[in-house]
Amino acid sequence: MSEVIPFYSLQHLHAALRDDMLAAMTRVYDAGSYVLGPEVACFEQEYSAFNQTAHTIGVGNGLEALTLALRALGIGPGDEVLVPSNTYIATWLAVSHVGATPIPVEPDITTSNLDPQRLLAALTPRTRAIVPVHLYGQPCQMPEIMAFAQQHQLWVVEDNAQAQGASFAGQLTGSFGHANATSFYPTKNLGALGDAGAITTNDKALAQRLLRLRNYGSPYKNYHELPGYNSRLDELQAALLRVKLRQLATVTQQRRQLAAWYHTYLGGVAGLRLPAVAAGAMPVWHLYVVHLAQRDALQQYLANLSIATLVHYPVAPHRQPAYSPPAGRAGYHLPIADQLAATCLSLPLWPGMTEKQVAAVAAAIRHF
Ligand SMILES: *Cc1c(COP(=O)(O)O)cnc(C)c1O
């Protein structure tokens, strides 16, 4: 019987952090302030320092972070927003939630990330913004995307949900765009113990607007300037995220080591495409995703050996019922997104995974 290798495990990290995490919970419990208290304020400052941005606004989750960022920038009905064709559906949903239309742009097939060369063809007089997604923790080519946005007077909202700590040309993702969204869903690189998210920005006026939007449009009690939302980062989650943020650099190092081992152990397998890293990119390996034609067969083969894998994502947003074209209207033609969805496989990777476990996964793949 071979060793069971889970796709992801928080066991190792959470064992090491147990005392600090429980102390954080106790602190919130005893302080008695549970919504927008001191832990949220401290986490926002600490995350801003980490991400090298002037402002962080803690919100309820990643989808709401994206939605509020678009809303704060004034994007709404009649507007078009360029999004990757192969992202997690939240990126598209945020655009839909503000009443705008997501316009898919196909990725570079080698990096799975937005291809700046394809932006121009998607541009129309209605285009207002671009949402680049740093998929799998691989940073997009932000300098090129920002230059394009400036040239065409577009807003940029980075979706940094999978890439806390990644950088391109030495600058951290989540610090390029005008307002950037991230998620602290438990399995993200920086994960809470429940739902949580944030927006980062260097624009003070935008930050002020976001602080109001997340809290009933209210700058102070009983005064509502805008029709806002209730999307606040939870005080308890903020206290836990402060503990985890202190470990993030170490966790990122571990992820980079695991990816390097996969690269070494999986080199030269015919028909297996390993993740490519663009020049200037420093990924944080939220996921280690390989591509091969016989994806389903390999996944089943590994499952039989008790090696768990996942597919991110098996069905591209344009194939989801939520985005099916109205009757009589032509559907999307996005062959790269379809091809990536049919061939991608995410291998096990988590902080605390060993070189031996990576080698065992690689050996099984070679055997297949
Ligand atoms: C997880 C994720 C989101 C959404 O975050 P939630 O906190 O789950 O709402 C958005 N975009 C990407 C790329 C994600 O991976």
Give the lowest-confidence range in 2-11, 80-89, 202-211, 333-342.
2-11
Closest ligand 1 atom, CA of 63? 9
Ligand 1 midpoint to CA 188 (Å): 9
- pLDDT-derived band at 99 (thresholds 50, 70, 90) equals very high
Q: Is the pLDDT of residue 126 over 60?
A: yes
The CATH number assigned to the domain holding 38 equals 3.40.640.10
Final residue of a structural domain among 202, 221, 245: 245
Q: What backbone phi and psi angles, to 5 degrees, belong to 121?
A: -65, -20
Give ligand 1 pocket residues (Cβ under 6 A). Answer: 61-63, 87-88, 90-91, 133, 159, 161-162, 183, 185, 195, 197
Ligand 1 midpoint to CA 135 (Å): 10
Q: Is the pLDDT of residue 309 over 60?
A: yes
Q: Is the pLDDT of residue 169 over 60?
A: yes
Could you list the beta-strand ranges (E) of 148-195: 155-156, 167-168, 171-172, 180-183
Q: Which helix or strand (DSSP H or E) is residue 139 part of?
A: none
DSSP state of 136: G
Instruction: Tell me the residue range of the domain where 331 lies.
Output: 248-367
Q: Is the pLDDT of residue 307 over 90?
A: yes
Task: Flag whether 175 is in a domain.
Answer: yes
Task: Flag whether 6 is in a domain.
Answer: no
Count of domains forming the chain: 2
Which residue has a Cα nearest atom 12 of ligand 1? 161
Closest ligand 1 atom, CA of 162? 15
Mode of pairing for the β-strands spanning 281-282 and 167-168: antiparallel
CB atoms inside a 10 Å sphere around CB 272? 18
**DSSP string for residues in 22-48:** HHHHHHHHHH---BS-HHHHHHHHHHH
Ligand 1 midpoint to CA 62 (Å): 5
Q: Which helix or strand (DSSP H or E) is residue 114 part of?
A: none
Q: Which two tokens stand for residue 311?
A: 């597919």
Could you list the beta-strand ranges (E) of the chain: 55-59, 80-84, 101-105, 127-130, 155-156, 167-168, 171-172, 180-183, 197-201, 281-282, 288-291, 344-347
Closest ligand 1 atom, CA of 66? 10
Identify which has the larger pLDDT, 125 or 327. Answer: 125
The Cα–Cα gap between 300 and 16 comes to: 33
Asked whether residue 16 falls in the same domain as residue 49, the answer is yes
% of the chain with per-residue pLDDT over 90: 97
Tell me which residue has tokens 């930050």: 207
pLDDT, tens digit, 9 for 90 and up, residues 48-68: 999 999 999 999 999 999 999
Asked whether residue 231 falls in the same domain as residue 286, the answer is no
Q: Is the pLDDT of residue 2 over 90?
A: no
pLDDT of residue 325: 84
The Cα–Cα gap between 362 and 219 comes to: 54
Which residue has a Cα nearest atom 5 of ligand 1? 62
Task: Flag whether 5 is in a domain.
Answer: no
pLDDT, tens digit, 9 for 90 and up, residues 142-159: 999 999 999 999 999 999
Ligand 1 midpoint to CA 63 (Å): 6
Query: Three-class SS of residue 5?
Result: strand
Ligand 1 midpoint to CA 191 (Å): 11
Asked whether residue 268 falls in the same domain as residue 236, the answer is no
Cβ contact 132:142 at 8 Å: yes
Cβ contact 102:128 at 8 Å: no
Ligand 1 midpoint to CA 290 (Å): 21
Q: Is the pLDDT of residue 73 over 90?
A: yes
Ligand 1 midpoint to CA 197 (Å): 9
Cβ contact 49:165 at 8 Å: no
pLDDT, tens digit, 9 for 90 and up, residues 77-88: 999 999 999 999
Burial class (CB in 10 A: 0-12, 13-18, 19+), 310: middle
Ligand 1 midpoint to CA 192 (Å): 13
Closest ligand 1 atom, CA of 87? 13
Task: Flag whether 3 is in a domain.
Answer: no
pLDDT of residue 1: 52
Final residue of a structural domain among 220, 245, 270: 245
Name residues whose C-beta falls within 8 Å of residue 212's C-beta, 6 or more positions apart in sequence.
218, 219, 225, 226, 228
Which residue has a Cα nearest atom 4 of ligand 1? 62
Closest ligand 1 atom, CA of 94? 10
Closest ligand 1 atom, CA of 64? 9
CB atoms inside a 10 Å sphere around CB 321? 6
Final residue of a structural domain among 227, 245, 263: 245
